[in-house]
Structure 1
């Protein structure tokens, strides 16, 4: 069943996600602070509303592909998206946010007569373009069922992680915990190879094909060896996401020492002025620590 969808946040992931919704036959009204992004969605089959309120009026679903919970609150409360939505509409929060922040937002949305669906994504720009994102949903079953057709237009791996808002955010935090720890460990291992004087290209080939391998090693390892790698995901993303994982640990009363150690390495690289560099460059923090640069 097709839906009328307001989509806020037409960035590098949001734009192809919104375009895939339009391709699936949904009526998509996209809004972004950049007019050229709205023009691009209109060219891909969406519509270009005159305002945020116009995008939200009559929408069954509002999708927020924004940076964080604070930006979601700005859109919903300060910019008036929530009051423009019809009563009973669903708000799909697809950003990576601390679970506790999601729960606070849920209380405000429910008080207004609308429903929040906590549904962060994983898969990056490649997954957004291909419609192969992993989508992790925390929401009551009836809310999950109401938005599932729209979510399936953006991701081919859709999971109902539990009946409570915030459970999707917890699963995404755990995913990012593992990604960040794997990435930091890969940087540590390759930096050790450099310090020991071995051929690191050969080292990478060996470990990437052995039991020591991980998806992050295979994907980021080659970029760790580049002098100026392209940026696919920034160091500061893992500063944020590992911070969220640590926050989730505090809420659950659980220590996360490996996540904390990885977080420190990303913080060190960001603090050196390289927060916008590719996240593979966490290896540079190990190089500086050990006199390699």
Structure 2
């Protein structure tokens, strides 16, 4: 089995790294939060005291919050590329701008490092269950080399194109997810304002053409106003910015995405950024004068 360095042990990274340990890989985990590293050690992993220590591996997986962190950890002084040996396979599972993913791939190639952008979808539950959907950009041979790692953490692993393509597909994923949350929230507001019990109503919707993973996994918690973060509003706000920037670069208009992005921004403005993205329901309630506070 491989020796894997894993940098970024947050809500998603910790269970992903733990699944790799359970699959028999040796995992060297690094995070700025020592408590997160301790969780991985308790699961059978090994603490890496620095990015350099985590890079002493066959494969390095990064799962970081945003483009600046990836640039710092991978491209910056003391980063992955500075310490990487030729032939290292770098798998960036973060959600970042496509142009940054392309830059990482170029600079990695100059150092003899094989780089993939492999953002994931499925939230904390998917990370825990090892059923994430992974959209991979990069060279075909490198994707195949990474499959023994990706297949452990993902239930659906698809090579979607060259470097940067994975991030573009993730942007499309995030605009669809946010739009679905917004519409489910509107449905709940309409049902409750009309005196209809939303629980059986959403059960019916989930069994018809309106069915979605959001309805399947989140309808009960949304009705109960339980917004423990599986994926925070703050991060989805970042992702919607990536989607709109990608649209601008591609020269296309995404008007619905623009409206939903503003709803996500409103959630942050209302102080909801640390809650789950299903907390868009609170924004729609406020707009309708049905304040949740």
| Matching residue of 1:110 | 109
Q: 1:50 to 1:198 in 2, by over 3 A?
A: closer
TM-score normalised over the length of structure 1: 0.91
Cα distance between partner residues in 1 of 2:98 and 2:270: 29
Aligned with 2:271 (options 260, 264, 273): 273
Distance in structure 1 (CA, Å) of the matches to 2:286 and 2:7: 40
* Cα shift readout 1:187-227 (whole Å, capped 9, x = no counterpart): 12222223334333343333333323322133233223224
* 1:152 CA displacement: 1.4
Structure 1 residues 41 and 202: CA distance shift in structure 2, 3 A: closer
How many aligned positions are there? 290
Structure-2-length-normalised TM-score: 0.91
Shift of 1:20: 1.8
Q: Which residue of 1 aligns with 2:185?
A: 187
CA distance 1:5–1:243, shift in 2 (3 Å): same
CA distance in structure 1 between the aligned counterparts of 2:126 and 2:51, rounded to whole angstroms: 27
- Tell me which residue corresponds to 2:66: 68
Q: Structure 1 residues 220, 40: closer, same or farther in 2, change over 3 A?
A: closer
> Per-residue deviation at 1:229?
3.7
CA deviation vs aligned residue, 1:98-143 (integer Å, no higher than 9, x gap): 2122112222222333221111111222222222222111111111
Alpha-carbon spacing, 1:129–1:255, altered in 2? closer, same or farther (3 Å): same
Distance 2:15 2:198 in 1: 36
1:132 aligns with 131
Q: Is the 2:65–2:235 contact (alpha carbons within 8 Å) kept by the matching residues of 1?
A: no
Q: Which residue of 2 aligns with 1:54?
A: 53
Paired position in structure 1 for 2:91: 92
**Residues 234 and 274, structure 2, Cα contact 8 Å, conserved in 1:** yes
CA RMSD of aligned residues (A): 1.9
Q: For 1:211, what is the secondary structure of its paired residue?
A: coil
Matches within 5 A, 1:1-293: 2-57=1-56, 59-76=57-74, 77-162=76-161, 164-293=162-291
Contact 2:267 2:273 survives alignment (8 Å): yes
